[in-house]
Structure 1
Amino acid sequence: MKKLVFYSFILLNIWCYGQKKVLQAQLVSQNIIIDGKLNETAWESAPIASDFITLEPDNGKPAPDGKKTEVKILYDNDAIYIGAKMYDDEPSKILKEISQRDNFGTADLFGVFINGFNDGQQDFMFYVSAADVQGDCIMTDANGEDYSWDAVWISKASLTENGWIVEIKIPYSALRFSAENKQTWGINFFREIKRTRYKYTWNFVDRKVGTFTQQAGILSGIENIKPPTRLFFMPYASYYLNAGEGQKTYGTIKGGMDIKYGINDAFTVDAILIPDFGQTKYDDQILNLGPFEQQFNENRAFFTEGTDLFNKGNMFYSRRIGGKPSVEPELNDNEEIAETVQNVNLINALKLSGRTKNGLGVGILNAVTEKTFATIKDTITGETRRTIVEPLTNYNVIVLDQRFRKNSSVTFINTNVIRNGHFRDANVTGLVWDLNTKANTYNLSGNVKYSTINASEDKRGLFSTINFAETSGKYRYSVGSDFVTKDFNPNDLGINFYTNYYSFYGNANYRILNPTKLFNSFRLNYNMYSEFNKDSGKVQEFNIDANVNLSTVKNNYYGMGVTIFPVEMYDYYEPRADGRYIITPKKINLWGSISTNYNHKFALDLNPTLSIADEPGRAAFGVDIGPRYRFNDKLLLTYTFSLLKKNNNKGYIDSYDDDDNEATPEIIVFANRDVITYANTLSGKYAINSAMTFNLAVRQYWSSAENKNILQLDSDGRLDPYPQYTENKNSSFYSWNADLSYSWWFAPGSQLSALYRNNASNFERVIDKDFKRNVTNLLTNDALKHIFSVSVKYFIDYNAVKNKIRKRA
């Protein structure tokens, strides 16, 4: 009898968890005040969403009675309203660190995930912490959570004697849904109890299935809503004061406006009329000794917010827009560059994005940059001339993304760059597919991309990839292959380094889905990758990797891994000459990672690395050490020291033509060098409240490459001594960045920010190994620049203004 009851209980749980829960939204006519109290009468009769289920670590287990959660939803013609009560039988232990928006720190969390099309493809996620901090993001299974997306909505969290409460108002302008009279949305609710790291959802999310967004519940009852016109203006004004040693101090005033317009319920147009990116984060520049450019993160909000469609197929690198000039000026004898620009100015930009009720997503992005000149000086006569380094340029991206069966998609992407005049144009077209079985157990993904460069000599290239994977269960695997032709080049509006190869790769992994006596999570990975030059068939890359990542029941994280390169490889990129290669030795890489529980006031991150090559004395080691201390819920300081040392590193330093040697007309010079890098980073946060914070970010960086002996690259890929080369090609680069900022969100979507910034950098061929003197010289010489700026951005809702005018009339 006991067994019968037990199996009946199991079957009942499987049946319940396999069904999508349904919550009925209730129409409200009274005004809902967002104060975290839920004291309006409309809340009393609204249906309740309860019986939350553990997401992790103990997936599938019902939430304990002492931690129950209750959620209700109301709606009117303007917005939906969410009221949530998070009960806690130990309310004094609720963690509530105050942090910046989208960075919840050490705090309990409540979230609501909404899919207005109920197609299982994309969730709009809205979070509120117990410290009343907001966060929002767009979530897809393919790309994860994108916190660069920001919406304008209202929330309030308040602590109670038996837990905490959240009250939220989400205007329809922050969502996407069809124009049907009866709405059916996908919805799920989320809660995290930070002190235990337990996470719960209202509708069961089975971690054995390789999808999150398709396991939501159903929100029904929203009918006959008449959403208002979605038209928003964001005017801004900025003041910049620039100063430096021996330089003229000057102030600059800037102003402009961003516009957001909802064409209909599903499509939105965003436009920058006059751009101002003066307060964006500095790039962390490094001493780049490799053959490829350094890739930077995008820090400009317009190019990060809601750009998930444009990132399909990895064809769009937004830093190309307003980046470095694309043309190197041609110099005559006795000429030098007297003045050039680091970045081209953006004139304006516009993007349209949305999705129809049939699942067709449309994205269009267009931007225009201005004609830009460099000043060239004759070193003998002193005369100057101007030459174009970037013509008037138009950048365009078009995306058509068709979703079907709630878990699959096929996407068409085109990127196009048109430069005025005789300068080069570029176009890349791609087809991307992401196909899943009905049960989300297997996935077939891939893409085909074709690039065209229209210049003095037209070039066309192809990139294709295909990947098959099992995506559910404890044991999973994937296999894939790439094929890239030599002339594939998406770099006018994308970024790609490696061409002219084909590759094969695979992965197998094991994970636990429920905690054990020792671990909350545990994952073991095995990877293999092989890459061959398309013309010669030589091995460009071959490695075998194994790693393990786990978190203990005390919420400490540990990771470790080993990568073996068991054969010599042929590097066709480092020589920077067509058809030439250098043979790189066998080697082994080891790494480890420790991150202690951030719930404690003091925590530590530690990441050591070691690389040993099959070549005398050639090795590298490094370490990142990052202690952090949370003084209280308002003040947090984090420090990171990074060290990387490469002994007997072999790298390119120069090349020139040798007219006396027909067999190898180009001499390629390498150096046997020691490379050492130090970086110190200090960041801090002091939060006055959830809307007002001070932030500190300081980075000191120094890297040097000291050449011990000079080598010549032979035609067979080996290196021989080359003592006749006497030019000094040592490298030393050091930089300093310091930002102190104040941010105040004084109204929804409206922000006042003040920033003091100083920065300096210097590159030299002489290496001074006195670390203190290097830093001191950098901070006291003329290179140090100071900038103080104040910026105000104000969010204006067309409907709110219209209603106020009507009331006054």
Structure 2
Amino acid sequence: MAKHIYLSLLFLIICSINTFGQKKTLQAKSITENITIDGKINEQIWESASVATDFIMFEPDNGKPISNDKKTEVKVLYDNDAIYISAMLYDNEPNKIQKETTNRDVFGVSDHFSVYINGFNDGQQDFRFFVSAAGVQMDCLATEDYEDFTWDAIWDSEVTITEFGWVVEMKIPYAALRFSKADKQTWGLNFMREIKRDVQKYTWNRIDTKIGAVIPQAGILQGIESIQTPTRLFLIPYTSAYYQQSDIGSDRTFKAGLDIKYGINDSFTLDAILVPDFGQTKFDNAILNLLPFEQRFEENRPFFTEGTDLFSKGGLLYSRRIGGSPIVERENLEAQLSPNQEITDFPSTVDVINAVKISGRTAKGLGIGFLNAVSEKTYATIFDTTTKTASKTVVQSLTNYNMLVLDQRFNQNSSVTFVNANTTRNGGFRDANVSALLFDLNTKSNTYNLYGDFKYSSINTIEDYDGFKTEIGFEKTSGQYRYGFSGKYLSENYDVNDLGINFYSNYHNAYGHASYRIVNPTKIFNTFRLNEYVNFEIDNTSGKLQTGAFGTEIRATTLGNDSLELLFELTPLKTFDFYEPREYGRYVFLPERMITILNFTSNDNNPFTLIIQPTFTKYNESGRNNYGFYLGSKYRFNDKFSLAFASEYTKMINDRGWVAFDDTEIVFAERNREILQNDLTGKYSLNNKMTINLTARYYWSYSKNHEFFTLQNSGYLTPNSSYAQNKDRNFNSWNFDLSYSWWFAPGSEISILYRNYGLQRSDIVEKRVSKNLDNIFNSDLTNVLSVSIRYFIDYNSVKNKF
């Protein structure tokens, strides 16, 4: 009897090793007949295809096999145009399958099936395709660092809810993928199934969460041979019309342009935009910015968000520079004018003439990315009140932006990268060139990581200057206990702000962290992570401490799938701010302080969800502290209709900051500040290709000064009773977007947008919210109605018709 028990245990161990220690392999089957993507899987050829099954839980209970009543079976076919995927997703309670209808690339409260494809099987990057039980598509480019859902491919999918679960059928054209020219293809492959009501995810090839890297743990797809891929040429012409009205007057605008996508070969793609139109992109969240740095805006223009994973290497690209605000600032231009001159028209942005990018990867793992964009010469208008004449002055010359990236991958988990970013402006405006060398090295088992970089900037202006930045770090990236440490040095003149964005320089840094996490649920938590960190930054010139923080982070999800977060950060030492004085070489003292942030997020499976986040900052200075509160709520009326409202309030008591230069003195103020932001979003999905969306935002903030100070060379403040100028600020911003979107064909969209917005600045503080609302709605609000049509044309379809 004992012998049989030992043999049984040995058999189970061997099975466990085969299941969890080896990569699964699936054979794709070649076909010549047509496959109709209808979610029915009724073609005879499917029956003879190999089956991928025996899925294993990814999270929360990592390594647990899927139950038989949730079994999943996936098959793959291929021809010269595409691969075809069918999935049978069994569910013993099909009436409980979650299937919220959302916009494209929005997951919502739905079950999902996805396929992860790595055409080079190099463990570095996935092309991921998701479809929800409601039939909504999502896709992204994924590396170990992030998932880029701004990338959109053209592919086909249909789903069917059945009495045994649900069925997925997908067609992914080769044009949506990247792979080598080899006659016999070997791809990295994984499938993932998410059962939303249980908050569980399963994968075909096991992903061990004790290992930090996910992509190298994919299975293998074989069998694709001798494919003759078609020409990858896609044209996306667009036309748009705008009608704008405000108190100043009305204006009508008509635009037309063209996007081009061309597959140079199976690995490289060229993307180009001619006469771009960004009029329907999401509005920017303008704020009352009292910081010494510009406000950083999110990129919402599709060309600069789609497929930019290579260009994000090294952090040297802030694409809002391209077509952003002019290099000549309005305040600097006003300072040059005579008393009888005034600016009557100053452009907020610069128009982009065209842009092109080429990206891809060779069979040997060399990624090549090239980005070029040109923005037009831009003028401001100056009116002379004496001569009654207007003239124009250049605030941005014709500008060329270039970026080149060479990224060599090896060993399925490591890379060495070279990046160059160049900005060239005509005339006497400044030029810039930045180069970077990066390395990211991982052990074969993905347990340890060594990374670092060296970056060099060169600026050509009235007085040329060069700078550099270097960093090196080491981390343990696997197991329940992990740790890491790093150090970096930024020289005094390091400057990447012509095509990138960087606020801090001239300091050196030391950072370390250690963390603990659970990999399987306990009696209390589904997930739990504790992280401790320490961060020190020291100014290179003065040797003074810029940052000296100790922090604790806790993140957990309960068995009921509510999320909890805690951040506690303590700065027990005196530090100095080298940027707030707005003058090089000066600094201001910052007292010791502590920051506490709590967050509770309820299970989003519930129709009503709630986010509560209080924050508190206490300074070691009499009466000085900050506190804030965020409350977010969402109600899902049904699978098509939902509304969400969020309100965020912050109050800063006895805050201190720069307000002015007064002759040779730098004036600071002690002030009270309040910030209120309300956001309302709504979605009604007529079907999985047609939606109506609402986005509204109201922002109000003020700064009320009650005492002025003079900044001493020591960094400390002394009272200034003589300064009497009004430097109070009151700021209101309103945005309202109501849009209709219809994806009437693959890659083709009709969108109608009504936009209403306004902005108001004043040096008179009004603390009543109702009065501020009256002021903004009684101001010069701008109304815009726009219609845009984009149509996707596949060269092969046109060729076949003619």
* Counterpart selection for 1:203 from 184, 202, 205: 205
Aligned pairs for 1:333-482 (under 5 A) are 333-482=339-488
Q: Distance in 1 between matches of 2:11 and 2:512?
A: 41
Q: Distance in 1 between matches of 2:414 and 2:760?
A: 50
Q: Partner amino acid for 1:162?
A: F
Unaligned runs of 5+ in 2: none
| Counterpart in the other structure of 2:702 | 704
**1:384 Cα offset (Å):** 2.1
| Counterpart in the other structure of 1:526 | 532
Q: Distance in 2 between matches of 1:90 and 1:627?
A: 29
* Counterpart selection for 2:245 from 227, 243, 246: 243
**1:780 Cα offset (Å):** 2.1
Aligned pairs for 1:235-384 (under 5 A) are 235-244=237-246, 246-328=247-329, 329=333, 330-384=336-390
Unaligned runs of 5+ in 1: 658-665
| Counterpart in the other structure of 1:780 | 778
Greater mean alpha carbon deviation, residues 585-594 or residues 12-21: 12-21
**1:382 Cα offset (Å):** 2.9
What is the alpha-carbon root mean square deviation over aligned residues? 0.9
DSSP 3-state at the match of 2:198: coil
* Counterpart selection for 1:672 from 670, 673, 692: 670
* Counterpart selection for 1:215 from 193, 217, 222: 217
| Counterpart in the other structure of 1:26 | 29
Q: Distance in 2 between matches of 1:617 and 1:679?
A: 25
Q: Distance in 1 between matches of 2:491 and 2:384?
A: 42
| Counterpart in the other structure of 2:511 | 505
Corresponding position: 1:151 with 2:153? yes
Q: Distance in 2 between matches of 1:303 and 1:117?
A: 25
Q: Partner amino acid for 1:103?
A: V
Residue-by-residue CA offset, 1:520-563 (whole Å, 9 max, x unaligned): 10000101000000011110110000011000111100111210
* Counterpart selection for 1:792 from 778, 789, 793: 789
Q: TM-score scaled to structure 1, two decimals?
A: 0.97
2:694–2:739 CA contact under 8 A, matched in 1 = yes
2:238–2:257 CA contact under 8 A, matched in 1 = yes
DSSP 3-state at the match of 1:521: strand
Q: Distance in 2 between matches of 1:540 and 1:724?
A: 31
Corresponding position: 1:536 with 2:537? no
DSSP 3-state at the match of 1:268: strand
Aligned pairs for 1:676-695 (under 5 A) are 676-695=674-693
Q: Distance in 2 between matches of 1:160 and 1:100?
A: 24
Q: Partner amino acid for 1:236?
A: Y
Q: Distance in 1 between matches of 2:665 and 2:11?
A: 79
2:175–2:232 CA contact under 8 A, matched in 1 = yes
* Counterpart selection for 2:735 from 737, 742, 758: 737
| Counterpart in the other structure of 2:51 | 48
**1:3 Cα offset (Å):** 5.7
**1:7 Cα offset (Å):** 5.3
Aligned pairs for 1:2-151 (under 5 A) are 2=5, 5-6=8-9, 8-141=11-144, 143-151=145-153
2:88–2:168 CA contact under 8 A, matched in 1 = yes
Residue-by-residue CA offset, 1:50-72 (whole Å, 9 max, x unaligned): 00000000101101111110000
**1:8 Cα offset (Å):** 4.2
2:760–2:779 CA contact under 8 A, matched in 1 = no
| Counterpart in the other structure of 1:234 | 236
DSSP 3-state at the match of 2:645: strand
Residue-by-residue CA offset, 1:605-639 (whole Å, 9 max, x unaligned): 01110011000000000011011100000001110
Corresponding position: 1:574 with 2:576? no
| Counterpart in the other structure of 1:661 | none
Corresponding position: 1:636 with 2:642? yes
Q: Distance in 1 between matches of 2:368 and 2:568?
A: 43
| Counterpart in the other structure of 2:173 | 171
Q: Partner amino acid for 1:794?
A: Y
Corresponding position: 1:496 with 2:502? yes
**1:11 Cα offset (Å):** 4.2
| Counterpart in the other structure of 2:556 | 550
**1:776 Cα offset (Å):** 1.7
| Counterpart in the other structure of 1:771 | 769
Q: Distance in 1 between matches of 2:448 and 2:758?
A: 51
Q: TM-score scaled to structure 2, two decimals?
A: 0.98
DSSP 3-state at the match of 2:49: coil
Q: Distance in 1 between matches of 2:303 and 2:272?
A: 9
Q: Distance in 1 between matches of 2:12 and 2:34?
A: 44
Q: Distance in 2 between matches of 1:561 and 1:221?
A: 50
Q: Distance in 1 between matches of 2:210 and 2:550?
A: 27
DSSP 3-state at the match of 1:16: helix
Q: Distance in 1 between matches of 2:72 and 2:15?
A: 22
Q: Distance in 2 between matches of 1:62 and 1:769?
A: 59
| Counterpart in the other structure of 1:751 | 749
* Counterpart selection for 2:622 from 607, 610, 616: 616
Corresponding position: 1:721 with 2:722? no
**1:508 Cα offset (Å):** 0.4
Residue-by-residue CA offset, 1:720-777 (whole Å, 9 max, x unaligned): 1101001000011110000000000000000110000000001110011121121122
Q: Distance in 2 between matches of 1:129 and 1:3?
A: 45
DSSP 3-state at the match of 1:311: helix
Aligned residues: 794
Residue-by-residue CA offset, 1:12-35 (whole Å, 9 max, x unaligned): 313321111000000111110000
**1:381 Cα offset (Å):** 3.4
Residue-by-residue CA offset, 1:265-313 (whole Å, 9 max, x unaligned): 1000000011000000000011101111110110000000000000001
Residue-by-residue CA offset, 1:88-110 (whole Å, 9 max, x unaligned): 01111000000011101000000
Residue-by-residue CA offset, 1:457-488 (whole Å, 9 max, x unaligned): 00100011111000000000010011001100
| Counterpart in the other structure of 2:594 | 588
Q: Distance in 2 between matches of 1:445 and 1:32?
A: 46
Q: Partner amino acid for 1:22?
A: T
DSSP 3-state at the match of 1:271: strand
* Counterpart selection for 1:193 from 184, 187, 195: 195
Task: State, as a whole percentage, how many aligned pairs show the same letter.
Answer: 53
2:699–2:734 CA contact under 8 A, matched in 1 = yes
**1:10 Cα offset (Å):** 3.3
DSSP 3-state at the match of 2:285: coil
**1:149 Cα offset (Å):** 0.5
DSSP 3-state at the match of 2:691: strand
Q: Distance in 2 between matches of 1:579 and 1:53?
A: 58
Greater mean alpha carbon deviation, residues 376-385 or residues 403-412: 376-385
Q: Distance in 1 between matches of 2:323 and 2:214?
A: 36
Q: Distance in 1 between matches of 2:224 and 2:251?
A: 56
